[in-house]
Amino acid sequence: MRKPFQRILVSDFDGTMTKFDFFDLARRDLPSAADHDYWQDYVSGKITHFEALAGIFGSIRADWPGIENVLAGMQLDPALKESVERLRASGWEIVVASAGCGWYIERLLAQAGVKLDVHANPGEFAPETGLRLTLPTASPYFKRETGIDKCAIVRAALARDPDAVFAGDGRPDLAPALLVRPERRFATGWLAHHLKNIGEPFRSFETWSQIAAALLEEPSC
């Protein structure tokens, strides 16, 4: 019997539940109609993170087989479904917080038979228009910089569970990661490297199922 939710895990998706980011694979493998580097504009402070992704994703010019190849190439953790089921049975609520696009997140989760509470930027793909992102202005976690405000999601989780856990890998994950206690902070990729550089403790991981296994080893409440 599933226990009532007692603890909360807020997790990024790209590079956290998957091995690779949609962003990286799309830039590398898919044709683009972009006439300049949106990401460099973001890094240099000229545009927001959301505007950079919207520009890059909207410039994709790929057919359905091409986009499906990229989704498969993201490599969703093959143990995700089992890990989610075991965590839920132990009283864990799992929330996905992503500055990416809900279109591919929901698509990959559905293919794996996993249903989660997902907060991400809405979008829709068509070969003629690319992956068109829209700002989630109706979301209680809306933030113009990234679309979805991961910090607001983590704060809401902490209000219900002071021991809430956060897991992530990229730049948008730094601020929310610093909101939770160091022993409740899981990091990989850019996030792990940056936390190490600034002297902030964290728990490293390679796959999302490793996070689940670590949490399942903790004493029950």
Question: Over the stretch 84-106, which tens digit does the pLDDT of each residue have?
Answer: 999 999 999 999 999 999 999 99
Mean pLDDT of 183-210: 98
Question: Does 116 score more than 80 pLDDT?
Answer: yes
Structure tokens at 22: 């949609």
Q: Verify that 49 and 116 share a domain, yes or no.
A: no
Tell me the CATH number at 180: 3.40.50.1000
- Average pLDDT over every residue of 121-141: 96
Domain assignment of residue 54, yes or no: yes
Those residues whose C-beta lies under 8 Å from the C-beta of residue 102, and which sit 6 or more positions away, are 118, 120, 121, 122, 123
The answer to whether residue 128 is domain-embedded is: no
Tell me, yes or no, whether 81 and 47 share the same domain.
no
Say if residue 45 is in the same domain as residue 116.
no
Q: Are residues 92 and 48 in the same domain?
A: no
Q: Is residue 221 part of a domain?
A: no
The DSSP code for 204 is E
91/142 same-domain check: yes
Looking at the predicted structure, is the pLDDT value of residue 204 above 50?
A: yes
Distance of CA 98 to the CA centre of its chain: 4
Is 183 within a domain? yes
At 5, is the pLDDT very low, low, confident or very high (cuts 50, 70, 90)?
Answer: low
Give me the percent of the chain exceeding a pLDDT of 90.
90
Structural domain contains residue 177:
yes
Q: What is the pTM of this model?
A: 0.93
Does 65 share its domain with 87? no
CA distance 166 to 181: 9
Q: 173 and 89 share a domain?
A: yes
Model pLDDT, residue 4: 59
Q: Mark which of 36, 52, 72 sits at the end of a domain.
A: 72
Is 188 found in the same domain as 148?
yes
Same domain, 58 and 113: no
| Domain tally, the chain | 2
Phi, psi of 7 (to 5 degrees): -130, 155
Q: 50 and 109: one domain?
A: no
* 127 in a structural domain: no
Q: Give the structural domain span for 29.
A: 24-72
Judgement on whether residues 172 and 157 belong to the same structural domain of the protein? yes
161 inside domain: yes
Has residue 2 been placed in a domain?
no
Q: What is the mean pLDDT of residues 65-80?
A: 97
Q: Give the N- to C-terminal CA distance of the chain in Å, as an integer.
A: 16
Residue 135 makes CB contacts below 8 A (sequence gap 6+) with: 50, 121, 142, 144, 147
Residues 68 and 98 in one domain: no
